[in-house]
Amino acid sequence: MTTAGSSGRDEPVETEDIASGESNIKLTETADKGKNGQRTPVKDVAETNGLSTTATTTGNKKKDELGQLYKPGVHVWCKYTGDNSYRDSQIIEVNTLKNGQTNYYVHFVEFNRRMDTWVKSTDILDSSTNPHDPEAKLTSGHGDAVAMLKQKRERRKEGVVEFVEEEYGEHNAMDEASIREHEEVTKVKNVNTLELGRHLIDTWYFSPIPKELYPEGGVPILYMCEFSLDFFRTKRELTRHYKNCKVRHPPGDEIYRDEESNLAVFEVDGAKSKFYSQNLCYLAKFFLDHKTLHFDVDPFLFYVFCEFDEYGYHIFGFFSKEKFSEQGYNLACILTLPSYQRKGYGKFIIEFSYELSKKEKRVGSPEKPLSDLGQVSYRSFWARALLEALQTPAALQQDKLSLIDLACITSIKIEDIILTLNYLGIIKYVGGQHCIYATPEIVTEKLKQFSGRGPRVSTR
The catalytic residues are: 367
Those residues with Cβ within 8 angstroms of residue 63's Cβ, 6 or more apart along the chain or in another chain: 69
Q: Could you check whether the bond before residue 251 is cis, i.e. omega within 30 degrees of 0?
A: no
Q: What is the DSSP string of 355-366?
A: HHHHHTT--BEE
CB 426 within 8 A of CB 438: yes
- Cα separation, 457 vs 460, whole angstroms: 9
- Cα separation, 368 vs 168, whole angstroms: 6
- Cα separation, 268 vs 181, whole angstroms: 33
Q: To 5 degrees, how large is the angle CA 110–CA 112–CA 116?
A: 95
Classify 50 in phi/psi space as left (phi over 0), alpha (psi -120 to 50) or beta. Answer: left
Q: Are strands 117-120 and 102-108 parallel, antiparallel or unpaired?
A: antiparallel
Those residues with Cβ within 8 angstroms of residue 441's Cβ, 6 or more apart along the chain or in another chain: none
Q: Edge to edge, what strands does the sheet with 219-224 contain?
A: 199-202, 191-196, 219-224, 231-232
Tell the burial category of 26 from Cβ atoms under 10 Å away from its Cβ (0-12, 13-18, 19+): middle
From residue 75, alpha-carbon distances to 90, 112, 120, 456 in Å are 4, 16, 15, 46
The stretches of 223-300 forming alpha helices (DSSP H) are: 235-244, 274-285
H or E element that contains 231? strand 231-232
From residue 419, alpha-carbon distances to 155, 379, 422 in Å are 22, 9, 5
Dihedral angle sign, alpha carbons of residues 118, 120, 121, 127: negative
- Cα separation, 250 vs 26, whole angstroms: 18
- Cα separation, 320 vs 242, whole angstroms: 27
